[in-house]
Amino acid sequence: MRSALDQRGLVEFVGAQNTIFKTGTASGSISIGSLEGRASLYAVGPVKGLDGEITIINSEPYISRMRGTSYIVEHSWDEEAIFLSWSSQRAWQDISIPASVHGYLDLQDFVKSAAQSVKLDVENPFPFLVSGTPAEIQWHINVDRTEGRPITAKLFAKSKVSFVVRGEPVEIIGFYSDHHPGVFISRLAPAIPPDSGRTNAIHIHFVSCVSQATGHIDDITLSEGMVLHLPTDQ
């Protein structure tokens, strides 16, 4: 299936996180198979029915989902996303991430300031990549724990299995926007205290280069030598 899609700047998107709570369901809004064949495709989103995470890096899909007490990773295009954001980018510019960029909010702020410095339009959404070996990533995979009840924000937060990876080289794909909370940016992020006065502006997933780990990043501790990759101005 495919719902009406939207595009702002370099990012296309369909569906919305808010719709989950308005309808109490986690229906699919797009088959990722409709994007198969696009070159240099990058995308993130949750699998319909709260049954996993979708991460696409350079046109390779990684679908992580819980099965029993562990998770599996598949590379299938036969999946539907509740909501999805994506972009096709062939060329990237590399920017070293300074040691002062340590945590989730530091990264969020650096992504915006770096984008401004290379004249990207930060009033519109844009994709970014991060590569390197972070000290730690706290991450999750969605799993349906609603027991058939309408999905509320509380049940949505409960319907996750959390993991931690440390010292693994990774590829991170993210989307930045100050204007799409509740659409393809979560209104809340575990790394941002509710009383901090800060809002979430990034949706980030990762794929480990040395293990099967892949999913949605809740928090991150960066280390030296990591690199931000921003799309070349288009």
* Residue 97: both structure tokens together: 């991430």
> Structurally, what CATH architecture does the domain formed by 92-231 represent?
2-Layer Sandwich (3.30)
Determine the average pLDDT of the residues in 61-65.
98
233: pLDDT confidence band, cut at 50, 70 and 90? low
Instruction: Give the SS3 label for residue 138.
Output: strand
Say if residue 3's pLDDT is above 80.
no
1 confidence band (pLDDT: 50, 70, 90):
very low
CATH code for the domain defined by 5-88: 3.30.1330.80
For every residue of 184-221, DSSP letters joined together read TB-S--TTS-TTSS----EEEEEEESSSS-EEEEEEEE
pLDDT in tens, 160-205: 999 999 999 999 999 999 999 999 999 889 999 988 999 999 999 9
Arithmetic mean of pLDDT over the chain: 95
Q: Could you tell me which residues are beta bridge partners of residue 214? A: 207
Evaluate if residue 234 carries a pLDDT over 60. no
The domain locations on the chain are 5-88, 92-231
Topology alike, domains 5-88 and 92-231: yes
**Rounded alpha-carbon distances, angstroms, from residue 133 to 97, 169, 175:** 12, 4, 20
The residue-averaged pLDDT of 44-58 equals 98
- In the sheet where 160-166 sits, what is the strand order? 92-96, 227-231, 126-132, 170-176, 202-208, 214-221, 136-142, 160-166
Q: Closest Cα to residue 52, out of 37, 38, 39, 62?
A: 62
Alpha helices (runs of H) in the chain, residue ranges in sequence order: 17-23, 104-117, 153-158
Q: How confident is the model at residue 2 (pLDDT cuts 50, 70, 90)?
A: very low
Cross-strand pairs, 62: 55
Query: How much is the average pLDDT of 47-69?
Result: 97
Residue 35 has a pLDDT of: 97
